[in-house]
Amino acid sequence: MKKSNLYTKTGDDGTTSLVSGTRVHKSDLRIDIYGDLDELNSLVGYALSAEKNEFSAIRVLLTEVQRFLFVMGSNMACEREKRVEYKLPVLEKSSIKLIENGIDELDFEIPTLKSFILPSGSEFSCRLHLCRTFSRNLERKVAEFHKNYEEVPSNYLIFLNRLSDYLFVAARFVNAKKQVQEVQWP
């Protein structure tokens, strides 16, 4: 059986297809967002590659986050009115609760912040900070899309907001457990 080619050449003109088959330009904000969701997913995987089986609760939650990011990407790749027709998975409110529980568990074990800190520390912590800042950037793009183009599922903005909070707390938790001193600013 001959393997099919990965390349289709249909995007050579600068357009791509949504789930529905509608062609849009690759510079469309929707494409930018689901590309960024894919990039955040890759950054989470990159962060996890530095986790050496020391933080299993973080690993489990972030692996679930990667699944949630795929759900969000599939929905962003389809017009709002067609998502039900194509039976795309949805991001449930339980995903937000899972993240909030993760924040509460980790935050309980780290010192309360009294000043800003520089994103630094162990390799795993620094990678989590990269994910956090990318998540915040993505949250701003999704908010712009929601405000100016098309309503996004209500859970998306909340999820990205909580995710960046979780990544911040997780980075601090990792440094605390590895006894890496946080660098305060100023």
Stated pTM of the model: 0.94
Instruction: Report how far residue 135's alpha carbon sits from residue 123's, in angstroms, rounded to the nearest whole number.
Output: 18
pLDDT band at residue 81 under the 50/70/90 scheme: confident
Model pLDDT, residue 166: 98
Does residue 49 register a pLDDT over 90?
A: yes
Judge whether 164 and 136 are in contact, CB under 8 Å: yes
pLDDT band at residue 5 under the 50/70/90 scheme: confident
Model pLDDT, residue 44: 98
